[in-house]
């Protein structure tokens, strides 16, 4: 039995509980701790939810001169927002007509309300399609390709120091700003204003991105559900509907461009390897197996390789043809007869004012045998001859080839410096260089 409730206990036993006691019993139940249990649990749940640490920050596209083109200007705007406003500023709208959206404004085109807002605008007396409406960006962007189509590539752009910051934190530098006239809506409900665009030279699925500065300039109210936006004019309300077919095409194109860029990034990441190690040059392998055939019977060094997938009849004809033409193949440098000097002779165009250079003799080790073999081959072929008193003297260099054999070269560095260069003028060289600017090989 609970303390202080003995009287109620007696009345309950007697079966005569009046209204007053019943009310008291009701009040006693309301005073029980169970009354506050639910609220205490809600407060604990709310407190636990409020104490959950933030996992990360998701940014949108920002930057450009809209929020201030310098650190000082951005700080001044921030202080102005934090400061106390003693006056209330009321926006004076040009029309008394209310801006509303109803079921009559629904766009019943081929698409959904989740498609991006893509419209067409009159910019600098050009009808520009693929204009993306994005009220999450603090800049109005026009792309360099669009300016070139407008023949405005030679316009003087105002420099901008603040870059554009994208979703992943990546920065895109702009080429500058340009003021262009923008007309929105159709006559007679049409409005025109000057918009300061950021010019960006990067591939994109859209031609223009209209951000918060231009939308606020036109006092635009956007309804993504109705795929329409309205704005006040002097004699009423103007409106622009979304081109849902164009929006879907641009959206799919932007996804394809993003996938291609991601594939290129993955490919570059896979190909880049900065580890220091020896790489072996892999030679291209034939698509079928080969077998060697002697062109001159009894001389195994003079062979030719043919494919092994040929039929027996074609293989026999191929071998007969190669053996009949065995004298067309050169097996050694002496087989190259060269050109008769009466036909053509090459002479070095050495500057007579340059003093001849005799390089110091280099000492060779294992390469001596290789150099001797190569020199003997050239002497047998008649390409070189021994000279006792020479004005110019150059050393040889032995280089290992990919096939494992050796190549002998001559160091003609000093001789090349003394030879007069043949003039090969390039016409319009300045124009050719300027036309390649901005491209990558």
3-state SS class at 17: coil
What is the arithmetic mean of pLDDT over 317-331?
A: 86
pLDDT at 420: 79
Q: At what angle do helices 19-30 and 6-14 cross, to 10 degrees?
A: 130
Q: What percent of the chain shows pLDDT beyond 70?
A: 64
Which CATH number does 103-260 carry?
A: 2.40.70.10
* Angstrom distances, CA of residue 69 to CA of 43, 66, 400, 405: 46, 7, 60, 64
pLDDT per position as a tens digit, 164-213: 776 556 677 788 889 999 999 888 888 899 999 988 888 788 889 898 99
Give the end-to-end CA distance of the chain in Å, rounded to a whole number.
95
**Among the ranges 47-61, 88-102, 266-280, which has the highest mean pLDDT value?**
88-102
**On the CB side of 114, how many CA atoms lie within 13 Å of its CA?**
0
Residue 273 has pLDDT above 80, yes or no: no
**On the CB side of 17, how many CA atoms lie within 13 Å of its CA?**
13
Please report which confidence band the pLDDT of residue 423 belongs to, taking 50, 70 and 90 as the band edges. Answer: low
pLDDT at 194: 92
Annotate 158-206 with DSSP letters as a single string. Answer: BP--PPEE-TTS-EE---EEEEEEEEEEETTEEEEEEEEEEEE-S--S-
pLDDT per position as a tens digit, 309-321: 888 899 899 989 9
Please report which confidence band the pLDDT of residue 251 belongs to, taking 50, 70 and 90 as the band edges. Answer: confident
Buried b / exposed e along 331-350 (16+ C-beta atoms within 10 A)? eebeeeeeeeeeeeeeeeee
pLDDT per position as a tens digit, 31-90: 444 554 555 555 555 555 555 565 554 444 555 555 566 666 666 666 665 554 444 444
Q: What is the distance between the alpha carbons of residues 221 and 232, in angstroms, rounded to a whole number? A: 9
pLDDT at 22: 47
3-state SS class at 248: helix
pLDDT at 26: 44
Residue 110 has pLDDT above 70, yes or no: no
What is the arithmetic mean of pLDDT over 217-232?
A: 89
CB–CB of 304/319 below 8 Å? no
pLDDT per position as a tens digit, 366-417: 778 888 888 888 888 777 888 777 788 888 888 888 888 888 888 888 888 8
Q: What is the distance between the alpha carbons of residues 273 and 268, in angstroms, rounded to a whole number? A: 10
pLDDT per position as a tens digit, 143-160: 888 888 888 887 888 888
Residues 6 or more apart in contact with residue 329 via CB below 8 angstroms: 295, 302, 304, 335
pLDDT per position as a tens digit, 343-374: 888 888 888 888 988 888 888 777 788 888 88
pLDDT at 81: 57
CB–CB of 233/214 below 8 Å? no
What is the arithmetic mean of pLDDT over 108-128?
A: 79
Q: What percent of the chain shows pLDDT beyond 90?
A: 3
Query: pLDDT averaged over the chain?
Result: 74
Regarding the domain with residue range 347-436, which homologous superfamily does it belong to in the CATH classification?
HIV Type 1 Reverse Transcriptase, subunit A, domain 1 (3.10.10.10)
Residue 30 has pLDDT above 50, yes or no: no
Which tops the pLDDT comparison, 431 or 281?
431
Please report which confidence band the pLDDT of residue 17 belongs to, taking 50, 70 and 90 as the band edges. Answer: very low
pLDDT at 160: 80
What is the arithmetic mean of pLDDT over 21-37?
A: 47
Please report which confidence band the pLDDT of residue 297 belongs to, taking 50, 70 and 90 as the band edges. Answer: confident
pLDDT at 268: 53
Which tops the pLDDT comparison, 301 or 47?
301
**On the CB side of 155, how many CA atoms lie within 13 Å of its CA?**
21
CB–CB of 227/245 below 8 Å? no
Residues 6 or more apart in contact with residue 227 via CB below 8 angstroms: 106, 107, 109, 111, 113, 115, 117, 241, 242, 244
pTM over 0.75: no
pLDDT at 23: 47
Token readout for 191 is: 């409005």
Which tops the pLDDT comparison, 236 or 287?
236
């Amino acid at each position: 039995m609970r303390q202080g409730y003995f009287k109620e206990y007696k009345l309950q036993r007697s079966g005569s509980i009046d209204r007053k006691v019943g009310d008291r019993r009701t009040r006693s139940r309301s005073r029980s701790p169970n009354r506050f249990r639910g609220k205490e649990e809600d407060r604990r749940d709310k407190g636990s939810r409020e104490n959950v640490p933030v996992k990360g920050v998701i940014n949108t596209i920002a930057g450009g001169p809209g929020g201030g083109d310098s650190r000082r200007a951005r700080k001044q705007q921030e202080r102005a927002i934090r400061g106390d406003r003693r006056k209330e500023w009321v926006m004076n709208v040009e029309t008394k007509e209310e801006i509303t959206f109803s079921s009559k404004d629904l766009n019943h085109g081929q698409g959904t309300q989740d498609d991006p807002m893509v419209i067409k605008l009159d910019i600098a007396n050009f009808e520009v399609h693929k204009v993306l409406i994005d009220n999450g960006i603090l800049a109005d962007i026009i792309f360099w390709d669009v300016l070139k189509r407008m023949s405005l590539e030679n316009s003087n752009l105002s420099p901008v120091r603040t870059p554009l910051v994208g979703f992943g934190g990546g920065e895109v530098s702009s080429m500058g700003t340009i003021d262009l006239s923008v007309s929105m809506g159709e006559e007679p409900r049409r409005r025109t204003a000057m918009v300061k665009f950021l010019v960006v030279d990067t591939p994109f699925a859209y031609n223009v991105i209209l951000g918060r500065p231009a939308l606020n300039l036109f006092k635009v109210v956007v309804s993504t559900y109705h795929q329409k936006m309205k704005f006040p004019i002097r004699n009423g309300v103007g409106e622009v509907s979304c081109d849902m077919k164009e929006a879907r095409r641009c959206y799919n194109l932007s996804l394809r461009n993003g996938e291609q860029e991601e594939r290129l990034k993955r490919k570059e990441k896979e190909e880049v390897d900065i580890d220091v190690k020896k790489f072996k040059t892999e030679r291209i392998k034939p698509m079928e197996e080969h077998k060697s055939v002697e062109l001159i019977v009894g001389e195994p060094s003079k062979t030719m390789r043919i494919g092994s997938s040929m039929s027996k009849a074609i293989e026999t004809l191929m071998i007969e043809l190669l053996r009949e033409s065995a004298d067309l193949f050169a097996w050694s440098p002496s087989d190259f007869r060269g050109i008769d000097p009466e036909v053509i002779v090459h002479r070095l165009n050495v500057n007579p004012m340059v003093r001849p250079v005799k390089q110091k003799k280099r000492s060779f080790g294992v390469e001596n045998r290789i150099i001797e073999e190569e020199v003997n081959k050239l002497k047998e072929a008649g390409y070189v001859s021994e000279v006792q008193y020479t004005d110019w003297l150059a050393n040889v260099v032995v280089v290992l080839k990919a096939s494992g054999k050796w190549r002998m070269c001559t160091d003609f560095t000093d001789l090349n410096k003394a030879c007069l260069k043949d003039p090969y003028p390039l016409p319009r060289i300045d124009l050719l260089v300027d036309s390649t600017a901005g491209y990558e090989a």
